[in-house]
Amino acid sequence: MTEHRAPTSPGTLRLLPWRSPDGKPCYLSTDENGGYLSRLADDMEAMQLATAEDILSLTRPVLDDPASPYTEVRYAGLRLAECLTDALRVAESRGLRLPGPAGDADSTPPAPHSRTTETSRPSPHNTSS
């Protein structure tokens, strides 16, 4: 697996791959690239993605077998949901750190925002306008 380190522009906030003790998102504001917390976050993101790959390979046989017990399928689903949550957080963090298109007057990434809730997302199955 290749490690991806997104550039951090001075003055931008980086969404970290962990939450505060009260469950709120944590952000890092830094002007330097490669500080201790940045490296720790990079390492944790890499670990989260590697864990997701491992869990996916371990849960596929359970999910592919129609005779798998309910408890095993439920456990596999719970672990996959945890890994997907981590992977989406890594993707959001890296997306926020991508530079804007060249020639844009404002090439800095947008300010971090809260994720939309499931109820406000359009359904992919709803084709009506």
**pLDDT for 106:** 52
CA-to-CA separations, 125 to 28, 79, 81, 82, 91, in angstroms, rounded: 37, 26, 21, 24, 24
Model-level pTM? Answer: 0.66
Show Cβ contacts of residue 111 under 8 Å, excluding neighbours closer than 6 positions. 13
Tens digit of each residue's pLDDT (9 = 90 or more) over 62-102: 999 999 999 999 999 999 999 999 999 999 998 888 877 76
Tens digit of each residue's pLDDT (9 = 90 or more) over 9-63: 455 788 999 999 999 999 988 766 678 888 899 999 999 999 999 999 999 999 9
